[in-house]
Structure 1
Amino acid sequence: MIRPLAVTLLLLAVPVQAQTGTPAPLADTQLPDPRQEAQAKALMETLRCVVCQGQSIADSDATMAGDMRALVRTRIAEGQKPAAIRQWLIDRYGRYISYDPPLDAATWPLWIAPALLLVLGGWIARGSFRRSRGR
C-alpha cells in the first residue's frame, strides 16, 4: 500500500522538478547604466513569454522568461539596439512573441477588426435609436 502512494508522489513531483532551474545571471539584475536598463525594460514589456499565457517576459516568473530577460539585458549591454534584439527574437520564436505584431498580410485582420466592429456597433445603435424614436 505504501508503494502506490510513493509512486504517485514521485509522479507528482516530476512537473515541479521540471520547473525549477537556475536563473540566468542577468534575469533579475538591473544593468548599471540606467539608460540601458530603461531600454531593456521597455523592450521586455513588449515581448510575450513563450511558456506563459498572456504575460510579458518582464512579468513572468518562468525560467524561460528569465533567460530571455538575461538575453535582452546582455545584448543591450553589448550595445545592440532594441529593434535588432526584437527582430532576432521574432526570427527565432515567430511573431507570437511580439505584443505589437507588424502590419502585413497575415495580421491585417487583427488591425482592421476593431475598426470594423466599431462601425458595426454604431450602425446597430443607430438602427436601434431610430426604431425607439419612431414608436
Structure 2
Amino acid sequence: MTARFAGRVVLVTGGGSGIGRATAVEFARRGAAVVVAGRTAESLKRAVAAIRAEGGEATAVPCDVRSEDEVRALVAATVAAYGALDIAFNNAGVSLVGSLTEFSAAEWDEVISTNLTGTFLLMKHEIIQM
C-alpha cells in the first residue's frame, strides 16, 4: 500500500463490482477510506471485505442513484462515517445490450435515469460537501 490518498475519503458508486470495485480497492490500497455504494448489498459487502482483507478502510452504503433521497442519505452517511468527502468516482451505470429496436421506452428510461440523472444527483450533493 502507498499513502498517496492517506487521509482522503472517497465515494465510489457502482462499487460492488467491475470497474467500481477495482477502483475502490485501488483507492484503499493507496490509503483512502472508501465508501462503496450500489444497489446490491451483497456485492457491496464482498467489496468491503476485499478492501479490509488488504488492510484498507471501507464502508458499504446501499444506494439507488436514481433516488435523490437515497443520494442525499449516501453523501450524509459518507460524511458521518469519515468526517468528509474528498473524492467521488461516480461510476454507477447500466447499459442495454442488443438491438435498439428491441428495447422498451421503460428500459431506455432506466438507462437515462441511472447514467445521467444519477450522476447529476450525485454531483449536486457531493459538491456541497466538497
TM-score by length of 2: 0.25
TM-score by length of 1: 0.25
Greater share of helix: 1
Greater share of strand: 2
